[in-house]
Amino acid sequence: MNENFKEAISLSQLTGLIRRTIEENISRFYLVIAEIQSITINRSGHAYLELIEKSPLDNNQILSQIRATIWANKFRMIKPYFESVTGSSLKQGLKIMVKAQVSFHELYGLSLNISDILPEYTVGELAMQRKITIEKLKNDGVFDMNREKDLPLLIKRIAVISSSGAAGYGDFCNQLNSNPRGYKFYTRLFEASMQGNTAEESIIKSLEDIYNSPEDFDCVVIIRGGGSKTDLNCFDSYILCQNICQFPLPIITGIGHERDESVADLVAHTHLKTPTAVAQFLIDRTLWCETSLNETVSSIKRRLTELLNYNQRKTDELRYRFITNLKNFCPLRLSKLETVKNNIKNNFKINFERRRMNDKMRIQRIGERIQSVITEQKHVLTQIETKIEMNSPKHILKKGYAVMKNSSGEIITGVKSVSKGDEITTIFYDGQIKSKVENIINE
In the CATH hierarchy, which fold is given to the domain comprising 9-117? OB fold (Dihydrolipoamide Acetyltransferase, E2P) (2.40.50)
Report the C-alpha gap between 331 and 327 in whole angstroms. 8
Report the C-alpha gap between 50 and 298 in whole angstroms. 70
DSSP one-letter code for 146: T
pLDDT at 281: 95
Q: Closest Cα to residue 263, out of 74, 135, 89? A: 135
pLDDT at 260: 58
Q: Annotate 370-386 with DSSP letters as a single string.
A: HHHHHHHHHHHHHHHHH
Report the C-alpha gap between 238 and 244 in whole angstroms. 10
- How far apart, in Å, are the Cα atoms of 173 and each of 130, 155, 178, 261? 30, 15, 8, 22
Kindly list the strands in the beta sheet with 270-272, ordered across the sheet, starting from the edge strand earlier in the chain.
186-191, 157-162, 219-224, 251-255, 270-272
- 207 pLDDT higher than 80: yes
Tens-place pLDDT, residues 98-130: 999 999 988 888 999 999 999 888 877 777 888
Pinpoint the residues of the chain covered by CATH 2.40.50.140: 9-117
Q: How far apart are the first and last CA of the chain?
A: 178
pLDDT at 101: 93
Of residues 221 and 7, the one with the higher pLDDT is: 221
Are 262 and 137 spatial neighbours (Cβ–Cβ below 8 Å)?
Answer: no
Report the C-alpha gap between 146 and 269 in whole angstroms. 5
User: Residue 172: pLDDT band by 50, 70, 90 thresholds?
Assistant: very high
Tens-place pLDDT, residues 338-352: 888 888 888 888 888
DSSP one-letter code for 412: P
Mean pLDDT of the chain: 87
User: Residue 208: pLDDT band by 50, 70, 90 thresholds?
Assistant: very high
Pairing of strands 62-70, 109-117: parallel
* CATH architecture for segment(s) 131-288: 3-Layer(aba) Sandwich (3.40)
Report the C-alpha gap between 60 and 35 in whole angstroms. 13
DSSP one-letter code for 43: T
Report the C-alpha gap between 358 and 377 in whole angstroms. 28
- 400 pLDDT higher than 90: no
User: Residue 36: pLDDT band by 50, 70, 90 thresholds?
Assistant: very high
- 333 pLDDT higher than 80: no
- 248 pLDDT higher than 90: yes
Pinpoint the residues of the chain covered by CATH 3.40.50.2300: 131-288
